[in-house]
Structure 1
Amino acid sequence: MKVYCKHFILKISVMMTFMTSFVDGQISDTMTSKGRYESYLNFRSLIRNAYVRPHWYADGSRFWFAEGTPENTVIYEVDPKHNVKRVFFNKDRLMKVLRPLLEKEPAAKGIPFSDFTFFEDKNAVEFFVENKKFRLSLKDYQILQIEGKEEAPLPFLGVLSPDKHTFVVTKDNNIELVDRITQKATPLTQDGADDYPWNVTDGCWSKDGKKLLVKRPDGRKVHHIPVVDYSTPEEKVKYSVYAKTGGVIETPELYVLDVASGKTITMDVGSNAQQYVFPIGWRQDDSEVLFMRVDRLGKKLELLAANPDTGVSRVILTEDSKTFVAGLDFIIDVWKRQFRLLKDNNRFIWLSERDGWRHLYLYDMNGKLIRRLTSGDFPVTGVIRVDEAKGWVYFTANAEKNLYSTNIYRVDLKGKDFKKITSAEGIHTYSQFSPSGQYFLDTYSSMKQPQSVELRTTDGKLIQLLKTSDISRLQKIGFHPPEGFIAKAADGTTDVYGIMYKPYDFDPTKKYPVIEFIYAGPFMNVVPYGFGPNSAPNAMAQALAQLGYITIIMDTRGTVERSKAFQDTIYGNIGTYEIADRKAILKQLGEKYPFMDMKRVGIYGHSWGGYFAVRAMLMAPDVYRVGIASAQGELTEGAEINEPYMGLPEDNKKGYEWGTNTNHAGNLKGKLLFIHGTSDVNAPLSTTIRMIDALTKAGKTYDLILLPGKDHFIDNDKYVSNAIRRYFEENLKNVK
């Protein structure tokens, strides 16, 4: 199962390619509305210095980090114990001795490198400039050019060996062993195919570096969707594995591969071929490999261990649910946070929603519960670090009054002394701990607060603010943060959270058309509770507001990071509550905010959001006047996408019939535009073809844009963004 390319997930990172109307940070005060729109599409490019990458000294007493742009880099050293931050290099002295050894004057105004290593007990450093290696004495700034070759960066999908001399990577469906210095590649497998590939994941190496735990999903009997290349008069067709709802899914296989000999041992993953398997890694003594398996409906999750020499496996722990214990979020990446093996090799931490909220439990390797570590009406979202020597578990959770405020907490291994160790309002998700376990860097932001980095002790004491993102370029285009709102769902009792973007020149006495940006997939939240948009559609929501709209985004019932009951609302009934909640919320917002023109409401969604944008137009035709659905999904599509929440079609015929949009085509009243790439293997083009066929048979008009050769991720395409802008202008904004 190629999870990374077969789900309707939005890309979390905003990867825009649009041209902006600023040069070198200078943005015109007389910027046109279109220019401001395009600048907001590039929101992340307007923010600088957002992160700190600490390089800790071995004893954890100090660290250094590079700051600034590539054109003006500064390197700082930080001493947490004495609360001192100082410039590490004397730039003038460094450049005076370095310049004569370079072929040309460095273009950078600051330090011409951002990485270095210590030499001779920190009395000297070594670094590369112009692919030349230099050694600099920190005492007298004497410099030497020395022999050395810069190591090639590790490929994105490469997994480094324990000795860091080699790495393994999946290439052309096979596994290769690559020397990190010479880049020489040695194939470890040779029979991989598109529908039967070899894969490596984090944790695949045995601790002695001699063996690999690898996965091979067999998709040869799974449905293959045709992808047609129309670029030449003679069409070409390729086929991609795509498990349809109710159809055959890939059969997972696990092996232990001996790196030297190439010999493989098959791990026993069970007799049920229709399941999902997740390789975790090795026990500390290499005595067993660990993996998880989930039945295809996500109702039963098991932790297993297998003997790497024989493949014989044993079940350690079983977790089950009447609805689902593992949804699409688990299949994509949450499984990586489900289990944490302790260094003592005999205990592990496990996440469970068995009492209605996701919490931490401590077990031994025989599956015996030692104790529960956390409890309360809030969800734990993941373990960050376990300090066994001092007995602490550090983790993220949403345990504050603001339900989506993610903070960092700690609790001891006895389940006591629960404490929040971050304090600023917002989302705290990116933390780096010192090797000593005494300090950590807390990276956080909120809707109003740009990303900042604080240095703290691990008991929560603030040492200093290291940096705050530079948003001066953003402020020059009239930036205003979004406003949060809380409204009631259609049941009249459940709180639903969302945000509202307003134009930069907002006038409360005017009436503005409203556009909702929808996703509503149950496996993720889309409201950006941190600073700035967290996806391409959200960036577009903020950008379109600058053209004279009120744009809104909300997380309604069925989504994650709330109680299990909140998530289970949609179980077996996708398409029933999501739009009903939105109708109720829009009514409340319209009554509260007279500047929202509720006679001009539009909706846009991509992927799963495309399905719900169409559904909104069909199930609430008197609310939504204009809709745009790009790369829409359907309940008939990906098995791993729909089945955990809907069951099998033969077991939930009524639910599938009600949730399938083609069955409601006759309800359409407003203007509806479909956008789809012809080479989409995540949400096949057939979903849109079937929908427009149903509308045609119902006598309903629609608009269609096909993007030849484009895949699923078209939501950051300039042509698409311009089409969306024009369609709303012509059919919503300029229509009374």
Structure 2
Amino acid sequence: MTLTQLVSGSLLLVCLVAQSAPDRAVIERSLDLRENWLPLTRNLMLEPVWTRTGDAFHYKLSVEGGFLFFRDQVYQSQTEPAFDHQLVATGLSRVTGQDYTALNLPFDRFQYADDGQSIRFYLHNIHWQCQLQVANCQDVTEQRQPSAFGVVRDLQQQAASGPVPSPDGNYQAQVSGHNLLVLDQQGRLVFQTEDGVSSNFYDPQLIRWAPDSSALALVRVQPGKARYVTRVLSAPADQLEPQVIQQLYPKPGDAVDVDQPVLVRPADKTAIDIPTTLFPSPYRIDSLAWQQGDQGVVWLSERDGWSHLYWVDSAGQQLQQLTQGNWRVRQVLAVDESSGTIWFTASGYYPGQDPYYEHLFRVGLDGSDFTTLTEGNAHHEVTLSPDYQHFILRYSRVDLPYVAELRQSHDGSLVRELARADISQLSAAGFRPPQPFVAKGRDGETDIWGLIVKPQNFDPDQAYPVIENIYAGPHDSFVPKSFWPFGFHSGGDKVIGMQAMADLGFIVVQIDGMGTANRSKAFHDVAWQDLVDSGFPDRILWHQAAAKQFPWYNIEDGMGIYGASAGGQSTVAALLFHPEFYKVGVAYAGCYDNRMDKISWNEQWLGYPIGSQYAASSVVEQAHLLQGQLLIINGEQDSNVDPASTMQLVDALIRADKDFDLLIVPGGEHSVGRSSGPIRYVQRRQFDFFLRHLKQQDTPDWNRVQ
């Protein structure tokens, strides 16, 4: 409502003029934006996959009406369909009950299997295999011993393990009655451990023979605390009565599995505990492997303030730095011991470029022959061939559609262009790339990077309220750097989700403040034992700088903010601790008190033992500070963050006599509103909330029959 005062003589007339509510069709157009725009790109290549030999590769490509998979050869361009798409769609539809077509297969990557007679891919937490001669797909998920967030095994579901033969076939190893047994070819007992008990047992899933069969390694496990979270599935699809679901879910402070590596030599009849001096607090070992050769290891460390590569000899004594500078190594792609070469990606190397853009480099194992293999002002995504001879480069920016090239790995030279995305139809439909914006952070020196998304019908003479899409988790950086605006999963809330929100009359932004990853160690350490900081001092300065530069960037009446998971926690923190700035928030699936959340993520960033730092980051403890408008959304079956965390926040708000809105989605998972569950409904509730409380506009009566 707006207030207009009309003065006529001594008569004061006060008229309340209602702003026109957005048309229902306008909101529905935003809800359908991803579905309508997704098919409008052409020749855009997604992540490629190499064959094991390195002489061929395949990839998913946008085409008229959807996407298809193609395969190609390295030494001669021979592009052809990777398989019969309709055959796979028929087989997958039949087994899943979903309706798939040749142009909308629901996976982005696959591997050939059975000598090219079938393909394997991952979909909805299931490994599938589809034959390529008949329409037949099946679940081929391997039943392995489950673990909870990588730290506690689920002993109630411990998978049995059969005998593991040695490479030379002379021995078989297996676990029976908590102990390791080694048998010869005739099944006679060669060696058996005697110290295995239920509280200190040998793990049958981690038996690894040496290549020469002279020894094997495995682990002896002291199990941690088996904490279970219990949830109620209120509305099961297959019955009327609710179901009770239990999940192994260790929380901060709980005892974790402690794994002791053991070396067994059958011929000597010995089992020796491997010293853990290199890792004095060992826990959950997920894999064991025998090192070939004896040159040492490549080590990634931030000891000089930046993430760099070091070489350590096999005794763990000599240390040599292989890369250095005010930039960071992001990922080691391959180590070729035969040529003494490491291929890796790094960001921040080129002055004047966005410091998050990744590039490809190589360096010798002795630190020599450092070589830059990509240079362009863009984000570079690299897939190296298994024989190390070539790589496929896909480079892009948020304003530069993907270009895919085949290059040689020794010098980065171009072999040929593979695909160049065409977005002419997408642009004709109204797409405009986000606008990068940079401002100084809290120290007055560090650049803080973000994106600004404007409405399609943007008018620079109009002032727009601003909404921030926040994710401040310290495990990564989150502002998109590549072109693909849709995310890589159905309902992915990247640029397209921000665009849908902006089209309702907002400016929507995303920022990487201090405390997020992929910059210097000092930049990252801001989050250590202080997750509630969420980079807000940097974010607020960024918004103020944008408002000073752009007249249409209106933050005078307060801002909106939304986020999920750690972003949900940050959303509530914004309303509690910065109420003069953030006025309206929508929080999804938040870990509102880190003591209630999963052990691995929270102990990693808030530390151990559990102390006052956990309470200091809890928005539940400070719920009484709420001043703005808050909508809390949570999936009833969230298996990532204990749903009780949400209900404890609700309880604290009620006890503090605070008003708020709450939406619980029965059966909804952690990704509710983003990639599972009733996405459209949940997103519409978010849209309505910001329209009513940030723009002060009435919204349609959705219950009225049309």
Which TM-score applies when normalising by structure 1? 0.68
Q: In structure 1, give the amino acid aligned to 2:300.
A: L
Residue of 588, 591, 594 corresponding to 1:635: 594
Whole-angstrom distance in 2 between the partners of 1:593 and 1:66: 41
Q: How does 1:264-303 map to 2 (within 5 A)?
A: 275-284=282-291
Q: In structure 2, give the amino acid aligned to 1:39.
A: L
Residue 77 of structure 1 is matched in structure 2 by 73
Q: How does 1:490-501 map to 2 (within 5 A)?
A: 490-501=442-453
Partner SS, residue 660 of structure 1: coil
User: Contact 1:395 / 1:409 at 8 angstroms: preserved in 2?
Assistant: yes
> What's the CA shift for 1:500?
1.1
User: Contact 1:440 / 1:456 at 8 angstroms: preserved in 2?
Assistant: yes
Whole-angstrom distance in 1 between the partners of 2:36 and 2:143: 30
Partner SS, residue 580 of structure 1: helix
Whole-angstrom distance in 2 between the partners of 1:152 and 1:530: 33
> What's the CA shift for 1:519?
1.1
Whole-angstrom distance in 2 between the partners of 1:407 and 1:361: 19
User: Contact 2:470 / 2:561 at 8 angstroms: preserved in 1?
Assistant: yes
Partner SS, residue 638 of structure 2: coil
Indicate yes or no: 2:547 matched with 1:587.
no
Residue 385 of structure 1 is matched in structure 2 by 334
When residues 512 and 71 of structure 1 are mapped into structure 2, their CA distance, relative to the original with a 3 A threshold, is closer
User: Contact 2:360 / 2:373 at 8 angstroms: preserved in 1?
Assistant: yes
User: Contact 1:253 / 1:269 at 8 angstroms: preserved in 2?
Assistant: no
Residue of 34, 37, 56 corresponding to 1:63: 56
Whole-angstrom distance in 1 between the partners of 2:112 and 2:643: 49
**Unaligned residue ranges in structure 2 (runs of 5+):** 1-24, 84-100, 104-109, 120-131, 145-154, 165-172, 179-197, 699-706
Residue 550 of structure 1 is matched in structure 2 by 507
> What's the CA shift for 1:428?
2.1
Greater CA drift, 354-363 or 564-573: 564-573
Residue 406 of structure 2 is matched in structure 1 by 455
Partner SS, residue 490 of structure 1: coil
User: Contact 1:629 / 1:674 at 8 angstroms: preserved in 2?
Assistant: yes
Residue of 339, 342, 346 corresponding to 2:295: 346
When residues 42 and 349 of structure 1 are mapped into structure 2, their CA distance, relative to the original with a 3 A threshold, is farther
Residue of 235, 239, 250 corresponding to 1:243: 250
Q: How does 1:355-366 map to 2 (within 5 A)?
A: 355-366=304-315
Whole-angstrom distance in 2 between the partners of 1:430 and 1:378: 18
Residue of 207, 230, 233 corresponding to 1:229: 233
Whole-angstrom distance in 1 between the partners of 2:33 and 2:175: 47
Whole-angstrom distance in 2 between the partners of 1:662 and 1:465: 54
Q: In structure 2, give the amino acid aligned to 1:627.
A: G
Residue of 527, 552, 557 corresponding to 1:570: 527
Residue 597 of structure 1 is matched in structure 2 by 554
User: Contact 2:637 / 2:667 at 8 angstroms: preserved in 1?
Assistant: yes
When residues 597 and 198 of structure 1 are mapped into structure 2, their CA distance, relative to the original with a 3 A threshold, is farther
User: Contact 2:263 / 2:274 at 8 angstroms: preserved in 1?
Assistant: no
User: Contact 1:515 / 1:602 at 8 angstroms: preserved in 2?
Assistant: yes
User: Contact 2:27 / 2:504 at 8 angstroms: preserved in 1?
Assistant: yes
Q: In structure 1, give the amino acid aligned to 2:45.
A: A
Whole-angstrom distance in 2 between the partners of 1:156 and 1:733: 49
> What's the CA shift for 1:464?
1.9
Greater relative contact order structure (CA < 8 Å, 6+ sep): 1
> What's the CA shift for 1:561?
0.9
Indicate yes or no: 2:10 matched with 1:50.
no
Q: How does 1:433-448 map to 2 (within 5 A)?
A: 433=385, 435=387, 437-448=388-399
Q: In structure 2, give the amino acid aligned to 1:251.
A: D
Indicate yes or no: 2:678 matched with 1:727.
no
Q: State the identity %.
A: 29
Q: In structure 2, give the amino acid aligned to 1:501.
A: V
> What's the CA shift for 1:666?
2.6
**Unaligned residue ranges in structure 1 (runs of 5+):** 1-30, 92-106, 119-125, 131-146, 160-169, 180-186, 285-342
> What's the CA shift for 1:680?
1.8
Write the deviation string for residues 247-266 of structure 1: whole angstroms up to 9, x where unpaired.
223213367899xxxx9989
Residue of 487, 492, 500 corresponding to 2:439: 487
CA-based RMSD:
4.5
Residue 431 of structure 1 is matched in structure 2 by 383
Write the deviation string for residues 217-271 of structure 1: whole angstroms up to 9, x where unpaired.
77662432221232377654333232322x223213367899xxxx998965869
Whole-angstrom distance in 1 between the partners of 2:567 and 2:225: 30
Whole-angstrom distance in 1 between the partners of 2:205 and 2:502: 43
Whole-angstrom distance in 1 between the partners of 2:133 and 2:176: 34
When residues 128 and 524 of structure 1 are mapped into structure 2, their CA distance, relative to the original with a 3 A threshold, is closer
Residue of 309, 322, 333 corresponding to 1:373: 322
Indicate yes or no: 2:654 matched with 1:696.
yes
> What's the CA shift for 1:606?
0.4
> What's the CA shift for 1:677?
1.6
Partner SS, residue 687 of structure 1: helix
Residue 658 of structure 1 is matched in structure 2 by 616
Whole-angstrom distance in 1 between the partners of 2:202 and 2:26: 50
Q: In structure 2, give the amino acid aligned to 1:248.
A: D
Partner SS, residue 85 of structure 1: coil
> What's the CA shift for 1:199?
9.1
Whole-angstrom distance in 2 between the partners of 1:373 and 1:439: 23
Query: How many positions carry a matched residue from both structures?
Result: 575
Residue of 394, 415, 418 corresponding to 2:370: 418
> What's the CA shift for 1:731?
1.9
Partner SS, residue 174 of structure 1: coil
Whole-angstrom distance in 2 between the partners of 1:391 and 1:274: 32
Q: In structure 1, give the amino acid aligned to 2:604.
A: P
Whole-angstrom distance in 1 between the partners of 2:506 and 2:217: 52
When residues 149 and 356 of structure 1 are mapped into structure 2, their CA distance, relative to the original with a 3 A threshold, is same
Indicate yes or no: 2:41 matched with 1:35.
no
When residues 587 and 370 of structure 1 are mapped into structure 2, their CA distance, relative to the original with a 3 A threshold, is closer
